[in-house]
Structure 1
């Protein structure tokens, strides 16, 4: 028994020396090493996938001798329970920064508790937690954009198109018959985008008649199915499609393509995000416009914040709103300026 205790003590001592040597070596080299654990709500979301690609690129650009980063991505597949478990695994694997794209923006408490217990800062991105939750700890940050601005800009794009192209009102009744493709039921960004797009159109004097709406969970295939149902109900009455993101706008376009509808029978389509496919659809005049969600800017902000949190310097140089928030502005994309955005990809 004594031998076992002595052996165990020697092993523990040896491990302690190893860890100490490793820490000392890191201090001597002066390299800040970020082990970034990314938990996203659903990696099949095209915008999220493109944003994460940008994030890794921006981290690579920051690696200049004094900073190194490795990134591990986990897909929550739409389940908050799964995402909570994945965050635990990322922490156990040694991650020292967490970047979290919440499945349920109203339910971050377990993830916050895990991070706080292990003193690991969290950068929430794209899906903004409730303000009260962001106040739970001083090492919680958010990088994203203002959902209201995206809705207003989508409404402005649609109003401008209706003003310059009177043929959009195909039945010439002085009203625009429209449908909406929304993200998730009850999701804050979906509600805000829809309400502000419609309110902006009305505020610009456009008379509207809402025919229907469909929940498509930000997904192109689901949007195609919802659009097919709405076309079945309303046939050629639909003159305008407002989609909460580009993927759903593209799904609506797919529905009309499947039905072999002629161009004269097509409504105008507007999205939000400015994904690669969305931009190409505008270039090909399949989609009238989108609101560009600055993934490059968001990725750069996340990367710089990661570096500052790990290195312990540079945090004061970052511009926050209320010491926690970094918002990147949206911008409007039409056929006239789409090439400028395609060049950025």
Structure 2
């Protein structure tokens, strides 16, 4: 009898122990270039919202340092991980991860900062989720044209000197950064394609940062303030910084019924941040091109399931050349 009781207890203990032990979750590591970046922070929050707890997902902040990101990745390769999702600090650093992943047979999804084509093709299980930077610049040009009343002669009343040429200032993301270079180039090309003549008075690199853009505006307004008819920003954070500087220094008129009455020139951004949308609603900014972070996050999660489960039905987004998922931009203005 005593032995029977011991056997029963042993069986119950084994059932209790193993009933709580399902299959081990696959590990996914998400390496973010900078958690303080408003757009990337938003994508990360959407990723967490889409996470169905099917995988063990850990997020790492590279703090805008490629050295930090490399150390995080090195540690993950040693510990073992089933999938890497990387928002690279530097685009050209992607090759390091691709080469190591090929050796370790660990798939990678890069997002928001596109690696070189040859790096993506180096290893079969490397993918990119992002946008077409040229598209955003061309769409920004159409948004500007709308903001100037599609008026190539008088610029919708913003032609201060009557020369029928847009005198503009550009706030640039990063020198040499693919998106910054492409957005800067394509928006000017787009404006010319819309029939406008353009003179770039000054281009200031503000590293996608609101505070740096705010500070840069002091120099810009001191030197070019009387001549500026348009401010083009590579992203919303810098456009917001510029708008706040102008607000704080009396360049805008008063608000009436929640809308500013007088503006010095048109301001446009890219990303679709909520603060930019609010400034657009109030008239401080004319508009922004929405970089759809929610769809980007959804595509990353679906692609992760497609890779880890080897199930094509998990992926609802088009996978171009078995490598790319490109998220479309959208317009947002106060019209």
User: Which category describes the TM-score, using the shorter chain as reference length?
Assistant: 0.7 to 0.9
Deviation at 1:320, TM superposition (A): 1.0
Residues 308-323 of structure 1 mapped to structure 2, 5 A cutoff: 308-314=306-312, 317=315, 319-323=318-322
Q: Match for residue 330 of structure 1?
A: 329
2:304 paired with 1:276: no
C-alpha contact (below 8 Å) 1:142/1:325 kept by paired residues: yes
Q: Which runs of structure 2 are paired with 1:1-345 in the superposition (5 Å)?
A: 29=22, 33-60=25-52, 63=53, 68-163=54-149, 166-263=156-253, 264=262, 266-314=264-312, 317=315, 319-336=318-335
Q: Which has the higher helix share?
A: 1
Contact residue 289 and residue 334 of structure 1 kept, 8 A: yes
Structure 1, residues 136-185: CA drift from partner, whole Å, max 9, x if none?
10010000010010000000100111125712223333222100000110
Aligned 8 A contact 1:214 1:227 in 2 = no
Residue 4 (structure 1) aligns with? none
**Partner SS, residue 132 of structure 1:** helix
Bigger shift: 33-42 or 285-294? 33-42
CA apart distance, 1:93: 4.3
Are the counterparts in 1 of residues 217 and 245 from structure 2 also a CA contact under 8 Å? yes
The alignment partner of 2:123 has SS state of: coil
- Once residues 295 and 194 of structure 2 are traced to their aligned partners in structure 1, the CA distance between those partners, rounded to angstroms, is 30
- Secondary structure of 1:107 counterpart: helix
In 1, are the aligned partners of 2:305 and 2:314 still within 8 Å (CA)? no
2:285 and 2:132 map into 1 onto residues whose CA distance is 23
Contact 1:32 1:310 in 2 (8 A): no
Is the Cα–Cα contact under 8 Å of residues 39 and 271 in structure 2 kept in the other structure? yes
The structural deviation recorded for 1:75 is 1.6
Q: Structure 1 residue runs of 4+, over 6 Å off?
A: none
Compute the displacement of 1:315 (Å). Answer: 6.7
The 3 A distance-change label for structure 1 pair 69 and 280 is farther
What is the root-mean-square deviation in Å for CA atoms of aligned residues? 2.0
**Distance of aligned partners of 1:265 and 1:317 in 2 relative to their CA distance in 1, 3 Å threshold:** closer
Contact persistence 1:34–1:306 (CA under 8 A):
no
- Measured at CA, do residues 316 and 275 of structure 1 come closer, stay the same or move farther in structure 2, by a change above 3 Å? closer
| Shift of residue 312, structure 1, vs aligned partner | 2.6
CA 1:85–1:75 in structure 2 vs 1: closer, same or farther (change >3 Å)?
same
TM-score normalised by the chain length of structure 2: 0.85
Alpha-carbon offset, residue 284 of structure 1: 1.8
1:265-286 Cα distance to aligned partner (Å, 9 max, x none): 5211100010121122212221
SS in 2 for 1:33: coil
**CA–CA distance in 2 between the matches of 1:216 and 1:183?**
6
Conserved 8 A contact 1:218-1:245: yes
Tell me, in whole angstroms, the C-alpha distance in 1 between the residues paired with 2:30 and 2:83: 9
Length-normalised TM-score, structure 1: 0.83
